[in-house]
Amino acid sequence: MRARPSLRQGAAEVPRAVWGMTLAHMGLGVWVLGVAFVTSFGTEKDVRVAPDAETDAGGYSFRFEGAQTSAGPNYQAQRGTVRVERGGLTIARLHPEKRFYPSQGTMMTESAVDASLLRDLYVSLGEGFDDGSWSLRIYIKPMVRLIWLGGVLMFCGGLLAASDRRYRLARAAERRAVVPDHARTA
């Protein structure tokens, strides 16, 4: 690129495969950074919480407001309400569910997620107890979007590299070079 009269001209002459490889490797770096953030600074907490009680995790306050029975199209659910606060301000109101599907006889947990650019908050409703308290599983995942962004960059880099004209020309030359035996004798 430096050997050309202008940076623009030099950049235009770099093959797509090189740009694609560069983008894919940058994506891998972003993905690794996201994984490092989530594993190093993420928080997981399992707690037993009574209605109108709160617990703290990762700088957030989670107030369990209780659980009510609700019905879905093909399930019965216990639907919890969890208010998330930080610095006295309500950030989110999450509604995790514990669902029972009578047709299959199975129990499923539906997590509630509050997603933002810098972090995701997950709350899952565990088992209910006779005194009205529930077990909650709380996850705080900082910078989880970097994992997704890294994957998208790697995908786009792979597409860009695969679209390089040199690969199509080389493949066409290979196809022309390989001639079946019956075609040679004819």
Per residue in 149-186, pLDDT (tens digit) is 999 999 999 999 988 877 666 666 666 666 565 655 55
Residue 78 inside a domain? The answer is yes
Q: Is 120 a domain residue?
A: yes
pLDDT, residue 180, reads 61
Does residue 63 lie in a domain region?
yes
Other C-beta atoms closer than 10 Å to the C-beta of 84 total 22
Strand partners, 44: 139
Q: How far apart are CA 87 and CA 89, in angstroms?
A: 6
pLDDT of res. 86: 94
What's the pLDDT at 177? 67
Name which residue leads in pLDDT, 31 or 13.
31
Provide the residue range defining the domain that includes 60: 43-142
pLDDT in tens, 30-66: 999 999 999 999 999 999 999 999 999 999 999 999 9
What does pTM read for this prediction?
A: 0.74
- Strands lying side by side in the sheet with 119-128: 43-49, 134-142, 119-128, 112-115
How far is it, in rounded angstroms, from Cα 135 to Cα 82? Answer: 12
pLDDT band at 91 (very low <50, low <70, confident <90, very high): very high
- Asked if residue 32 belongs to a domain, the reply is no
Determine how many CB atoms are found less than 10 A away from the CB of residue 45.
14
How many CB atoms within 10 Å of residue 155?
Answer: 13
Q: What local confidence, expressed as pLDDT, does residue 169 receive?
A: 63
Work out the pLDDT band at 11, boundaries 50, 70, 90: confident
Closest by alpha carbon to 158, among 21, 31, 26, 27? 21
pLDDT reading at 92 higher than 60: yes
Beta bridge partners of 109: 98
Total number of domains in the chain: 1
Report pLDDT for 179.
57
Tens digits of residue pLDDT in 102-150:
999 999 999 999 999 999 999 999 999 999 899 999 999 999 999 999 9
Cα–Cα distances (Å) from 101 to 8, 78, 124, 151, 181, in that order, read 61, 12, 18, 35, 63
The answer to whether residue 65 is domain-embedded is yes
pLDDT at 15 over 90: no
For residues 6 and 72, which has the higher predicted lDDT (pLDDT)?
A: 72
Residue 5 lies in a domain: no
Query: Which tokens belong to 68?
Result: 């009510």
162 domain residue, yes or no: no
* Burial class for 135, CB neighbours closer than 10 Å (0-12, 13-18, 19+): middle
In a domain? residue 54: yes
Whether residue 10 is predicted with pLDDT greater than 80 in this model: the reply is no
